[in-house]
Amino acid sequence: MGRVTTFLTRTNGGTDSAQKIGVTDVLAYSYLLLGVLIILVPVFWTFFSSLKPERAIDNFDTRLLPIAQIEADIEGVGTKTVWEYTAEDGTVTDVYKAGPTRRETDVAPINDPTNIEAVDRDRLAPSEEMRVATENYLDPILKRNGQTNFQFGTYLFNSVFITVAATLITLLINAMAAFALSKYRFKGRLTFTLLIVATLLIPSSIILVSLFFVVWTFGIFGSLWGVIIPAAATPTGVFLLRQYMLTIPDELLEAARMDAASEWRIFWRIVLPLSLPALSVLAILSVIWRWNDFLWPLIVLISDPAKHTIQLGLTQYAGEFDQDFHYILAMTVVSLIPITLVFIWLQRFITTGIATTGLK
């Protein structure tokens, strides 16, 4: 018995160094299990729900698989749900309910809709099928079935445009500022550094109202640039890059100056390629910030539906059709997919990158 438990609880390692699973290991693994339950299950649940037909969603069917009652279009009656009627001799017929459900319910066979007869309620069972409801996704995207309000293409374009343009601008100007602060000695360097620290302490929600005035005065209110430009300079980005550029040896720069390279060329031919690891961390952070940004786009872009980002479009959509849960869930999954794919592709890089380069 003792040997069996030793065998079962042994962790990896040689026979000498192997340790038994301790209390802390058990606690750690149960914590991870709890994490799976709390973090992944809601996301997967949303995904599986989005594959269910409208009927299953409306009934809050909590089965995992997309099972729903079949609906049939019956001549002269309209669309009805199909039930299976098991007669006393064991034969099964597909019927629909021709009247309200009582102990004796009026039903008629699907292929003979006029032949109504009263049967025992207990002998009726819903006729179900398993079907992946692609229409949840395709209707809003292809604008079928009257779902014209979700301009998926426009939203996607706006979101991608804002994310890409803002990330490029952020990378360029933050790298420029970081280069100046890390590789030059000049009057006012400390002042500039302190100014950038100060911006770190000004939360964006405090300057919301007056930023609106500024953006309005610049004439970029209501355009995508009104979202891109105000947050393009990030103190986090400048510090992250500055910290990294300090590790680049000055000799490289001196050598380039010997070869009569201009300062701008030193910057983008030597310093930028060498600080690629820090730049990619900032790029990922910037993409997350911009793709998920909500409050500021809500203020700047809300009045013009053609300028909505995916997040705004989804909010408006969810607010407008509170009952059409099947479309809302499907569109939620659609807007979740790009960032999830990026994350799965780059996950090791993102987590180690932020943990080591970011915010030290």
Residue in 72, 160, 180, 248 binding another protein, rule: CB under 8 A: 180
The piece of 25-33, 77-85, 97-105, 246-254 that touches another protein (CB under 8 A) is 25-33
Return the residue of 72, 124, 318, 321 that touches another protein, per CB under 8 A. 318
With binding defined as CB under 8 A, does residue 260 bind another protein?
no
* CB of 141 or CB of 231, closer to another protein: 231
Residues 110-129 that bind another protein (CB under 8 A): none
CB 184 to another protein: min, Å:
4
Contacts with another protein in 269-298 (CB under 8 A)?
288, 291-292, 294-295, 298
Query: Residues 136, 158, 174, 286: which binds another protein (CB under 8 A)?
Result: 174
Whichever of 99 and 219 has its CB closer to another protein, that residue is: 219
Q: Given the rule CB under 8 A, which of 66-74, 92-100, 243-251, 324-332 is the region that contacts another protein?
A: 324-332
Q: How far apart are the C-alpha atoms of 259 and 228, rounded to whole Å?
A: 38
Give min distance, CB of 85 to another protein, in A. 28
The piece of 66-74, 87-95, 131-139, 261-269 that touches another protein (CB under 8 A) is 261-269
Selected binder of another protein within 5, 101, 148, 356 (CB under 8 A): 356
Q: Which residue has the tokens 């490029």?
A: 168
Label the pairing between strands 128-130 and 78-81. unpaired
User: Binding residue for another protein (CB under 8 A) from 116, 176, 270, 283?
Assistant: 176
96 makes contact with another protein (CB under 8 A): no
List of residues 6+ apart from 99 with CB closer than 8 A:
105, 106, 116
- 355 lies in the binding site for another protein (CB under 8 A): yes
**What are the tokens at 337?**
């997919």
Q: Can you name the residues that pair with 84 across neighbouring β-strands?
A: 94, 125
Contacts to another protein from residues 325-354, by CB under 8 A: 325, 328-329, 332, 335-336, 339-340, 342-343, 347-348, 350-352, 354
| Choice from 87, 126, 268, 277 touching another protein (CB under 8 A) | 268
Q: Tell me if 43 contacts another protein by CB under 8 A.
A: yes
Q: How many residues bind another protein (CB under 8 A)?
A: 99
Q: Which is nearer to another protein, 64 or 87 (CB)?
A: 64
Beta-bridge partners for 107: 97, 117
- 2-21: which residues touch another protein (CB under 8 A)? none
Q: How far apart are alpha carbons 333 and 45 in whole angstroms?
A: 11
Interface pick for another protein out of 26, 32, 118, 276 (rule CB under 8 A): 32
Task: List the one residue from 67, 156, 160, 173 that touches another protein (CB under 8 A).
Answer: 173
Residues 193-252 interacting with another protein (rule: CB under 8 A) = 195-196, 198-199, 201-220, 229-233, 238
The verdict on 1 binding another protein (CB under 8 A) reads no
CB of 255 to another protein, least distance (A): 16
- Four-residue CA torsion sign, 172, 298, 325, 142: negative
User: Do strands 71-74 and 78-81 pair parallel, antiparallel, or not at all (unpaired)?
Assistant: antiparallel
